[in-house]
C-alpha cells in the first residue's frame, strides 16, 4: 500500500473517479476541482502546478492541491496518514485540509510548526425550509453584473482569509455563463449573492454566499441561498451541499434553519516551513 503522486490530471481522474463518485457528497470539492481543471486548464486556480495523488490499497483515498491553496485529502484509511507524510516529506507544503479525525496524526508526523487556519463543516440538504422573504426579489446574474461580481468575489475571499490572486475574471465569466450566480435585489440594488456549482455526479454545491456588511442582518443571504438551493433541485440534483466556516455561527445557524444537516468536519492547517 502506497501513495502514487502525479501531475497528470487524466491519469489521476482515471484512478480516482470511481472512488470519488462512490461518496459524492463527501467528495464534492474534489469532483468540482477535477471538472474545473478539465474545462479551464491546470492553472485555473493559480500559476503553480497542481499535484494529484491516490492511495494504492484496499480502501481508497486521494489528495489534490491547486497552489496556492492547501493540499486537500479525502478521509484516510489506516496507514495512509504516515505514508502521506513520508511521500510528501521532500515537498514544500504550506498547508493541508484534512478530515478532523486525521489532522492530528498528519501534523505530528510532519514535525513542522503548524497553525489551525480554519475549521469547516460540510452540510447536506434534507428538506428545504424557506425563511420569511425579505424585501426585494431574486434574479440570475448576467454579464452586466461582471464588475460587481469581481468585487464581491475578492471581498468574500478577503473576509474568510483565503489567499487569492485577485484575478477572478475566468471564474466569474464561467459562473455567469451557466447561470450559476443568484443575486438578491432590494429597491433595484443588488444586496447579496449565492453561487451554485454545475450539476455533477447528481450533486450541486451552494458556495460563496456573500452579503456586504452594510446589508447584513436583513435576511438577504437566506433568501439568496434559498433560491440557489431551489435552482439546484430544479436542475435535478439528488444532493445539494454547502461548506461553512465553523467560526461563523450566523451562517451555520442559518443553513441549519434552511434544512441543511451536518455531514463532515474538516480542519485547514498552515505550516511554517
CATH code for the domain of 130: 3.40.630.30
Going by C-alpha positions, the residue among 124, 123, 127, 80 that lies closest to residue 101 is 80
The verdict on 60 and 172 lying in the same domain is no
The verdict on 83 and 200 lying in the same domain is no
Domain assignment of residue 216, yes or no: yes
**Predicted local distance difference test score (pLDDT) of residue 57:** 81
Residue 100, all three cell numbers: 478532523
The verdict on 75 and 55 lying in the same domain is yes
Going by C-alpha positions, the residue among 185, 216, 163 that lies closest to residue 48 is 163
* Number of domains making up the chain: 2
**Euclidean distance between CA atoms 204 and 124, whole angstroms:** 10
Domain end point (choices 56, 83, 112): 112
CB-side neighbour CA atoms (13 Å) of 35: 17
The set of residues, in sequence order, having a beta carbon less than 8 Å from that of 178 and lying 6+ positions away, is 198
**Predicted local distance difference test score (pLDDT) of residue 164:** 67
Going by C-alpha positions, the residue among 139, 141, 130 that lies closest to residue 226 is 130
Q: Which domain holds residue 41?
A: 2-112
Domain end point (choices 112, 145, 160): 112
Alpha helices of 119-168 — where are they, by DSSP H? Answer: 146-160
Domain end point (choices 60, 88, 112): 112
Domain assignment of residue 273, yes or no: no
Average pLDDT over the chain, rounded to whole? 94
The verdict on 131 and 107 lying in the same domain is no
Give me the phi and psi of 72, to 5 degrees please.
-110, 135
Which segment of 56-60, 203-207, 212-216 scores lowest on mean pLDDT? 56-60
**Euclidean distance between CA atoms 3 and 84, whole angstroms:** 7
pLDDT (tens digit per residue) in 74-101: 999 999 999 999 999 999 899 999 999 9
- Give the pLDDT band (50/70/90) at residue 16: very high
Amino acid at each position: 500500500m502506497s501513495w502514487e503522486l502525479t501531475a497528470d490530471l487524466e491519469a489521476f481522474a482515471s484512478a480516482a473517479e470511481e472512488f470519488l463518485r462512490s461518496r459524492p457528497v463527501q467528495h464534492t470539492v474534489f469532483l468540482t476541482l477535477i471538472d474545473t481543471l478539465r474545462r479551464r486548464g491546470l492553472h485555473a486556480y493559480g500559476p503553480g502546478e497542481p499535484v494529484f495523488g491516490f492511495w494504492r490499497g484496499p480502501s481508497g483515498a486521494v489528495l489534490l492541491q491547486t497552489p496556492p491553496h492547501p493540499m486537500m485529502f479525502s478521509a484516510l484509511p489506516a496507514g495512509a496518514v504516515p505514508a502521506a507524510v513520508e511521500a510528501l516529506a521532500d515537498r514544500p507544503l504550506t498547508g493541508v485540509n484534512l478530515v478532523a479525525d486525521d489532522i492530528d496524526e498528519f501534523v505530528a508526523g510532519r514535525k513542522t510548526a503548524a497553525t489551525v487556519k480554519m475549521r469547516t463543516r460540510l452540510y447536506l440538504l434534507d428538506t428545504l425550509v424557506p425563511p420569511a422573504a425579505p424585501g426585494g426579489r431574486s434574479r440570475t446574474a448576467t454579464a452586466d453584473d461582471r464588475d460587481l461580481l469581481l468585487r464581491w468575489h475578492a471581498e468574500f475571499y478577503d473576509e474568510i482569509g483565503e489567499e487569492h490572486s485577485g484575478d477572478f475574471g475566468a471564474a466569474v465569466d464561467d459562473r455567469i455563463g451557466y447561470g450559476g450566480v443568484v443575486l438578491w435585489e432590494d429597491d433595484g440594488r443588488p444586496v447579496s449573492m449565492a453561487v451554485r456549482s454545475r450539476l455533477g455526479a447528481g450533486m450541486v454545491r451552494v458556495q460563496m454566499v456573500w452579503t456586504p456588511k452594510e446589508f447584513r442582518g436583513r435576511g438577504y443571504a437566506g433568501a439568496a441561498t434559498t433560491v440557489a438551493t431551489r435552482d439546484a433541485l430544479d436542475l435535478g440534483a439528488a444532493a445539494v451541499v454547502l461548506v461553512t466556516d465553523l467560526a461563523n455561527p450566523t451562517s451555520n445557524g442559518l443553513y441549519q434553519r434552511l434544512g441543511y444537516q451536518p455531514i463532515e468536519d474538516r480542519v485547514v492547517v498552515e505550516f511554517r516551513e
